[in-house]
Amino acid sequence: MEQNETESVPLRAHPLALPTPTPVRWNRSTRARRVSLRIDPRAGEVVVTLPPRSSRRAGMALLNTHATWVKERLSSLAPAVPLLEGESVPLGGVPHVIRHDPTARGPAILWNGEIVVAGDKAFLTRRVGDFLRAEGKRRIGVLAAGHAAALGVRIRRITLKDTRSRWGSCAPDGTLAFSWRLVMAPDWVLDYVVAHEVAHLRELNHSDRFWAHVSRLTPHREAAQDWLRRHGPTLLRVG
């Protein structure tokens, strides 16, 4: 099992001129072979990963070398969107305003372009999150069933996760996993990701045969891949 040592340090403690005080997350990983640097768009953090024998000084050297890149990436992040009343959250690519109505039925429902949340306002954030996950699983389930029937394959089960780097995955046992955040993407983007993972039930690789199956299931491959590259990080800023 990989062992990680994680520590958050205010970036203002280091000689880097960034737009705002931003935390650096230091990870020490037994699997790392070199010092690496990335931006975590969900947390809005700079993440430095160190191999077991590398010093913090090596990480600082990498940060200083790529200070301009760090500043550009952080400044390009979309604003964080909390799941609060009055905020707008996309659903199927269409913005929906969160509205609290203590008299409404059910924990949360869709109504006239809004996500209407019932009950105590103290539970609004959790209920919106639960609603988005449930809606994501419903929509993914419908698409996956259709694509599986078209390919003549069987899905063992579908799970939803809150991943940071992969929108979907297919396990050898036939389990499909998806990021719940895909429910916020346009329907045709969601369709592509589901088709991609269902196609892995026939070909657990990225061979020409695999891509032929994907093309049979959906016409949106290139456009959806481009959309996820451009707009996927924005989905990670919600919630």
Model pLDDT for residues 171-208, shown as the tens digit of each residue: 999 999 999 999 999 999 999 999 999 999 999 999 99
- The per-residue pLDDT for 21 is 65
List, edge to edge, every strand of the sheet that includes 175-179.
157-161, 175-179, 168-170
Same domain, 118 and 224: yes
Is 82 a domain residue?
no
Is 81 a domain residue?
no
Q: What is the pLDDT of residues 105-151, one digit of tens each?
A: 889 999 999 999 999 999 999 999 999 999 999 999 999 999 999 99
How many structural domains are present in the chain? Answer: 2
**Contact present, 48 and 28 (Cβ < 8 Å):** no
Same domain, 37 and 149: no
Q: Please determine, for residue 16, whether its predicted confidence score (pLDDT) is greater than 80.
A: no
Is 83 a domain residue?
no
List, edge to edge, every strand of the sheet that includes 45-50.
4-10, 23-29, 45-50, 36-40
Is 228 a domain residue?
yes
